[in-house]
A and B are shown apart, each in its own frame.
Chain A
Amino acid sequence: MIEIENVHKSFGELKVLKGINLTVDKGEVLTVIGGSGSGKSTLLTCINGLEPIDSGRIVVDGTDVHARGTDLNKLRRKIGIVFQQWNAFPHLTVLENVMLAPRKVLGLSKAEAEEIAVKQLTHVGLAEKLSVYPNRMSGGQQQRMAIARALAMSPEYMLFDEVTSALDPMLVGEVLDTLRMLASEGMTMICVTHEMKFAREVSDRVAFFHQGIMAEIAAPEQLFDAPQHPETKKFLAATH
């Protein structure tokens, strides 16, 4: 379970998160929507410990992410994150990209890491691309490789940060299909997205962020069909 308690985060003078409280249960799919600069992506990087927080607490399965003494490298093994830009390791083939962390972080043998990598790449539909270098693939394929790379660490939680935002509209579908598949398999996920149809379809709950505050959180039918907060109404009206 991910527990977020009164989290504040600033970049210099700019307050990005202003007291976020949120709990994500195991197996839940939470979608976070909101305008640019509302703090959605920052929240994900704070959950993963990539960004420090100013105050509050983020607890993942009983471990305080930002407590002194927390082994973040160990914690990150259970919290996979995929970014807007897929960030492939360009000097490694697709298979090597996915094998690297299981080998070096989990200490698996080459054969074990390869087995896991092939399984995950097959899972996301890239079984034919094992020996290809990332720059030879489309953005959608590279993003699916990034998802497989995170999944190869067998994470218990997956964070997706606008994973379709940098993609050609033609390629968005294949990545969303991969996320749908993960959701149907029971993976605990927090997805920051601008894909409203996708959010409505796969989420257990949808949270709307506005200027660093979680303005509203509800089941997708309720949030999309009967939003309560005026900013949510304004945002949804603008996106339709």
Chain B
Amino acid sequence: MFNTALTWNDLVFLAQGAGMTLMVTAVSVAAGTVLGIVFGLIRVQCGPYWSAPLTFALDVFRSVPLLIQLVLGNALQSIMKLGWPPFTTSCVVLSLYTAAYCTEIVRGGIGAVPPTTRRAARSLGMTWWQDMRYIVAPLATRVSLPSWIGLTLGVMKDSALVLWLGLIELLRASQILVTRLQEPLFILLICGAIYFIISFPIARLGGYLEKRWSPND
């Protein structure tokens, strides 16, 4: 029969790790999305020439592996004597990483709104801001949502790398249990199941919103 040394307290320990994963993801995705919207607008409005330095910086964040970014980010905050705890450093690095991808999603979403639709809005006397707020934002959101959901799910899984900065998130919590209990397959199975449980509602929410909006488009 199946025997395991896993206790209720160990499951609570994993749940706490999952809580940390969710917290890091929520903060990073929220901050990264806000930054991504700002950077995306700058890229659209300023054109390729003036936004070239920003584009280059974001390309760096998209090209360098996240693990290297986390290690360098931690070293930099230490050199600059910022005194950030691992949670803050992790969230800052992951936010910039998320923003780099989100910028392209936002840029693509805005670009997908037909110029003629925007022209119709401006011809009615709407200001640039009103056009953005009432026409571009809702239409671009519909286009961008699937990519944004994919990015969020990706960041949630990538957040496992913050274990290198000493944060005990879901994967690190599983590792600790594997080391102690020597039941790697069983514990990683539970870990994977928890990742699925916290990812699934986000994926479904995306599907629900897409379905809700699609009859009108």
Contact = CB atoms under 8 A, between A and B. Distances in A.
Indicate whether A and B interact. yes
**Taking chain B's interface residues, is the majority helix, strand, or loop, or is none over half, making it mixed?**
helix
Nearest to A104: B130
B193 interface: no
Interface string A44-71: 0000101000000000000000000000
A73 interface: yes
A81 B126 CA distance: 13
Q: Which residue among A89, A91, A146 has the maximum number of chain B CB atoms within 10 Å of its CB?
A: A91
A91 B139 CA distance: 7
Interface in B163-217: 213, 215-217
Interface residues of B, number: 22
A91 B138 contact: yes
A150 B116 contact: no
Given A73-B127, A76-B122, 16 more contacts: A50-B122, A73-B125, A74-B125, A87-B116, A88-B117, A89-B117, A90-B216, A90-B217, A91-B138, A91-B139, A101-B126, A104-B134, A105-B126, A133-B215, A133-B216, A153-B124
Contact of A105 (B116, B120, B124, B215): B124
A83 B116 contact: yes
Contacts of A90: 117, 139, 216-217
B123 A50 contact: yes
B116 A85 contact: yes
Nearest to B142: A91
Interface in B81-129: 114, 116-117, 119-127
Contacts of A83: 116, 119-120, 123
13 contacts: A76-B124, A76-B125, A80-B123, A81-B123, A83-B119, A83-B120, A87-B114, A89-B134, A105-B126, A105-B130, A133-B215, A135-B216, A150-B124
B6 interface: no
A100 interface: yes
Contacts of B119: 50, 83, 87
Nearest to B128: A73
A77 B125 CA distance: 5
B126 A104 contact: yes
A104 B124 CA distance: 10
Interface string B74-85: 000000000000
A87 B117 contact: yes
Question: How many residues of A sit at the interface, in one of the four size bands?
Answer: 20 to 34
B53 to A, nearest CB: 28
A149 interface: yes
- Find the residue from B117, B122, B124, B134 having the highest chain A CB count within 10 A: B124
Q: Specify the main secondary structure of chain A where it touches its partner.
A: loop
B46 interface: no
Interface in B59-85: none
B38 interface: no
A105 B134 contact: no
Contacts of B215: 133
Contacts of A100: 124, 134
B139 A76 contact: no
A112 B139 CA distance: 26
A91 B216 contact: yes
Shortest Cβ-Cβ A-B pairs, 10 listed:
A87-B120, A101-B124, A76-B125, A105-B125, A133-B216, A77-B125, A91-B138, A81-B123, A73-B125, A87-B117
A146 B120 contact: yes
A91 B133 CA distance: 13
Contacts of A74: 125
B135 interface: yes
Nearest to A103: B134
A163 B43 CA distance: 34
Contacts of B213: 91
A45 B7 CA distance: 73
A134 to B, nearest CB: 8
A194 B117 CA distance: 23
